[in-house]
Amino acid sequence: MLRVYKPISHKIQNVHKLMEYLVIEVWCKANKKLPKTRLNAELKSIYENKDYEWFKNSVDNIYALFRDKRLSQADRDEFQRIFISNNEIERLCNGSNTPVYSKDFHPIIKDAIVDFFQNYTQSF
């Protein structure tokens, strides 16, 4: 039996956009600036919220890992490509994209990324 899907508007829909921004615009473009300066207003409000101190610490830690000289620009670009590809749900479902599992992430960032997304989903 088919049902008609009626979209709803909810704040949870913004979470993915926030995570895309964090990964693509902050971590993958990490430089000598402080991570806080790269955050958009919504992420900055979470970053500065004392109730989410773990978020600030995680963002800072992962940012530092992306700045690590052992992680090349090609490694950053590859992680960005993986992140984008792994979030193209329709293409994953129809088999035109193959998922990349966290065990295959660059070893410098793998554990911190996995920990962050596990904590993030449990905290909100």
DSSP letter for each residue of 9-63: --TTHHHHHHHHHIIIIIITT--SS-GGGG--HHHHHHHT-GGGHHHHHHHHHHH
Number of H helices, E strands in the chain: 6, 0
pLDDT tens-digit readout, 87-123: 999 999 999 999 999 999 999 999 999 999 987 666 5
pLDDT, residue 10, reads 74
Higher pLDDT, 54 or 10: 54
**Distance separating alpha carbons of residues 101 and 106, to the nearest angstrom:** 11
pLDDT, residue 107, reads 96
Residue 124 has pLDDT above 60, yes or no: no
Query: Confidence class of residue 67 from pLDDT cuts 50, 70 and 90?
Result: very high
**Distance separating alpha carbons of residues 34 and 64, to the nearest angstrom:** 9
Give the residue-averaged pLDDT of 80-93.
Answer: 95
Contact by Cβ (8 Å): 114, 122: no
pLDDT, residue 121, reads 62
**Distance separating alpha carbons of residues 20 and 4, to the nearest angstrom:** 29
pTM for this predicted structure: 0.85
